[in-house]
Structures are given as structure tokens and as C-alpha cells.
Amino acid sequence: MKNYHTVAFDLDGTLTDPKRGLTSAFAYGLRKVGVKFDNVESLKKFIGPPLRDSFRDEYGLSEECADDALMLFREYFGVYGWWDNELYPGIHELLSSLKAAGKTLVLATSKPEVYSSKILKLFGLSDYFDFAEGASFDSSREKKCDVLDYALSKVGIVTPEEKQGVVLVGDTRFDIEGAVICGVDSIGVTYGYGNEDELLREGATYIAKDVKEIGEILLGFASQTSD
């Protein structure tokens, strides 16, 4: 396996499980704009894609109404949703092992930085990352490839040759698609909100079924994960 010098991580579904907070915020936004949905559990399918696209495309909302739903989502998420979250077992041990091995770590999440930074601090993950900003509120940096390119540029990785030593770890097809567009390898994880078939279909370089397997791929041995 390649010896990657830089590892980029998605956040939702990869480092943390955001289901409770995100689905509650989705439900709040939908109810406030008068959209009916089956149940809160059914909204977990929206974890991963850009939020505005989900509101617009899934429910046929106009651009204006989708923007309203997104604003309402953020109204709830900014107070209640961001902390209603769980860290996946073994993440601290994995990140610690990667840093000890001299890897550069960056965060590449479509979640706005105002939320992602709070979540990293909540779980004590901030110090592992060399760069950890998320997407922008103005949608100028929202797609995974844009977020990834921006994060990599901040640690001095710009050229195709430099990107040969980069791998993105993410759980949905949007993560893998972004990696392919940016010209980097990827590890698709199946413990989050994607599935192996779609990750492979989008071109995932590797598949990891749990956090331990990420360590095996990146370090050649199992990181010391807790059960």
C-alpha cells in the first residue's frame, strides 16, 4: 500500500455520528416550511450531501424555500444539534497513531466551520489536525472537492504530483466523488451513512468496515482501538 503523507478526514459519519442532531434539525426546518415527511428516522438519508441540495431536490422546493429551510435548519442546529453527536470508538487512538507516524491531518467537511470547530473541540480532536476548517456559509465552498482542495492548499498541497501522497477518508459517495475530482485516493468507510456498493461504484481506492481497518490501511497495522 502507498505511504500517504497527508490524510484528509470527512466529519459526519466518519469521525462522529451526527444522526440525532442532524435529523432533528432537518425535521425542524421541514416542519417550519410546511413540508411533511414520514418520520425523523427517514431523514438520516440526508447526512452527507450538501444541505441546500437535499431540501431542494428531495422535496421539490424552490430555491427561495430551500434557502428558508436551510436557515431554519441552522437556527436549530446552531443551538441544539451540533452537540447531539457521538464520537465513533477508536477515533482518538487512530488520530494519535497517525500523528505519531508523522502524517499531516486535515479536515475536509461540508459542514460549516462554525459548527465543525465546535464539534472537534467537544470531542478533544482539534489538536490532531494541521488544518481544520469546513465549508463556507455563502456556498462558495460547499462541494466536497472544493472543501478538499481548499484544505489541501492550506497545508501546501496544490499540484497533481503533491496530491499523489494524499488520501481522503469518508463515508458517502459524495466524499469519494470529491476525492476522484480532486485527484486523490480514498478510503470509503462503511460504518457511516454510505454502503460498500456505492462507495466502490464511485471509485473508492479502499474500503474500511471499521476504524481499526482505517489504521491497517494507513499504517500497515491495527491502531490501538477501544471496543
Look up residue 87 and give its DSSP letter: E
The ranges assigned to domains in the chain are 6-17+88-219, 19-81
pLDDT 10s digits, 100-111: 999 999 999 988
Phi/psi of residue 12, nearest 5 degrees: -65, 125
Question: What cell does 35 get?
Answer: 413540508
Q: What is the pLDDT of residues 51-69, one digit of tens each?
A: 788 888 888 888 899 899 9
Torsion sign over Cα 60, 65, 67, 69? negative
Catalytic (active-site) positions: 10
CATH code: domain 6-17+88-219 is: 3.40.50.1000
**Single pTM value for the model:** 0.88
What is the pLDDT averaged over residues 72-96?
A: 95
pLDDT in the model for residue 195: 93
Q: Does residue 140 carry a pLDDT above 90? A: no
61-65, 140-144, 145-149, 189-193: range with lowest mean pLDDT: 140-144
3-state secondary structure 9-37: ECCECCCEECHHHHHHHHHHHHHHCCCCC
Span of 151-155, 207-211, 217-221 with lowest mean pLDDT:
217-221
**55 close to 70: Cβ distance less than 8 angstroms:** yes
Query: Do the first three CATH levels of 6-17+88-219 and 19-81 match, i.e. the same topology?
Result: no
The CATH number of the domain covering residues in 19-81 = 1.10.150.240
Average pLDDT value for the chain? 91
